[in-house]
């Protein structure tokens, strides 16, 4: 880790390392570390682009854009690029059979009810919903041209399908139609929160 190594070492040396789902804690810290790196790269490229194009902007808009891009980076790092730090470490598996993709809605999610712990069930459903709520909120928040529900749904669908496709090709997760369903619910709820917030400003 480039930035959060001392913080992770502190967590690992405390009682937190003995919690049941510490691998998830480790994943989050590593993902935050990678997010910081790529957000800094984005900020540098964004500054260069603004300077060369003489595009007029504001600090508020750039801050909102940075927060949204940081969220997207963290989302992809957590769900797809878990085991790699740099792009050249990626290995694509183009010969994977399509049969490993779960296209039966809610079947695998409902099976999790029989698990010893219900954590996986709640993470599969509520977790996937929660992760896409910032997307549904953020799309109309940063763009005056995309303030319709259709834009949030469309961008949410493309983002979710991109994650599932990359998980399939990189074998970094399970490509599952349930994830797409819950992701879209999250995007719609996030858009609903934006509308309520926008109306009461």
Residues 97, 40: Cα–Cα separation, whole Å: 37
Residues 124 and 180 in one domain: yes
Residues 181, 120: Cα–Cα separation, whole Å: 17
Q: What is the pLDDT of residues 73-106, one digit of tens each?
A: 999 999 999 989 999 999 999 999 999 999 999 8
Helices (H), 126-176: 128-142, 149-170
Kindly tell me if the per-residue pLDDT of 185 is higher than 90: yes
Q: Are 12 and 6 in contact (CB under 8 A)?
A: no
Residues 130 and 50 in one domain: no
Q: Whole domain around residue 1: which residue ranges?
A: 1-90
pTM above 0.85, yes or no: yes
- Looking from the CA of 101 toward its CB, the CA atoms found within 13 Å total 16
Residues 122 and 68 in one domain: no
Residues 100 and 81 in one domain: no
Residues 109 and 170 in one domain: yes
Residues 107 and 196 in one domain: yes
- When divided into structural domains, the chain yields a total of 2
């Amino acid at each position: 880790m480039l930035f959060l190594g001392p913080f992770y070492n502190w967590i690992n040396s405390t009682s937190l390392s003995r919690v049941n789902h510490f691998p998830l804690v480790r994943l989050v810290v590593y993902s935050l570390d990678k997010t910081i790196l790529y957000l800094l790269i984005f900020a540098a490229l964004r500054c260069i682009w603004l300077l060369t194009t003489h595009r007029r902007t504001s600090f508020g808009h750039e801050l909102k854009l940075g927060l949204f891009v940081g969220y997207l980076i963290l989302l992809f790092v957590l769900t797809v690029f878990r085991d790699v730090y740099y792009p050249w470490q990626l290995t694509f598996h183009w010969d994977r059979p399509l049969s490993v993709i779960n296209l039966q809605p809610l079947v695998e999610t409902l099976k999790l009810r029989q698990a010893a712990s219900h954590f996986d069930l709640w993470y599969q459903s509520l977790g996937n919903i929660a992760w896409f709520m910032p997307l549904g909120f953020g799309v109309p928040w940063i763009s005056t041209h995309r303030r319709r529900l259709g834009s949030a749904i469309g961008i949410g669908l493309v983002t979710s399908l991109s994650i599932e496709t990359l998980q399939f090709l990189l074998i970094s997760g399970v490509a599952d139609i349930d994830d797409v369903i819950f992701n879209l619910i999250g995007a719609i709820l996030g858009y609903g929160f934006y509308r309520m917030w926008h109306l009461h400003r």
